[in-house]
Structure 1
């Protein structure tokens, strides 16, 4: 039960951070219902991805796991845009930042690239939060 609640909370936090960073989600008129369904769907994905990858002998840690998580999150986002008529991705602009003296310019993203970067940010934030609560059980 603790793992389910933790997954729901981490998913909600990662989707919220992604929304704050990019603002690419468009929830339509029924935003609470759509948000709840989105959190539930992504939580179910993250709850079952590690056991499923362990069954088919794929890595469930490391950079390859991050890539598989990013890929499945992107596919799930695409499926949810088809299934939920009020959920969509809108064009957005990533703000420019300066890291260690290097200037990264702002970037305009279309709908598809917004979906890709949202999946990347959601996976990155979720896996970071999950790594903080790792029990180190192998």
Structure 2
């Protein structure tokens, strides 16, 4: 996550996010932190590009949280932001670019500004449900497979 230590983040059905040390010196890659806060299983994890110590998570109930991976060692709360998508379906794709997070769910792609945790904009597809999605924000392209 940050330039000095290598971390692996995992999340899943138990609604938690775990940080593991991937230091080349460690042989069994110890668990260094567990983050609690989601009520549903995790769907996606991504590093925020504008600040590499921030981890973005999205759960199956469309709740988005931002975690500071440095917080466990500093004693403060690791959750530094949250938002909820008002989508009519579970998230199917998430990608972070710079300080924006693009999340496809239902018939919408919602863009959240990770600095404010507010929606920057929503791209709504009329009468279609997104089945697959890939965001290429550096080119301002969003490719969707719809039904």
Q: Would you say same fold, with TM above 0.5?
A: no
Between structures 1 and 2, the one with greater strand share: 2
Smaller-chain TM-score range?
under 0.3
- TM-score, length of structure 2 as denominator length: 0.20
Between structures 1 and 2, the one with greater helix share: 1
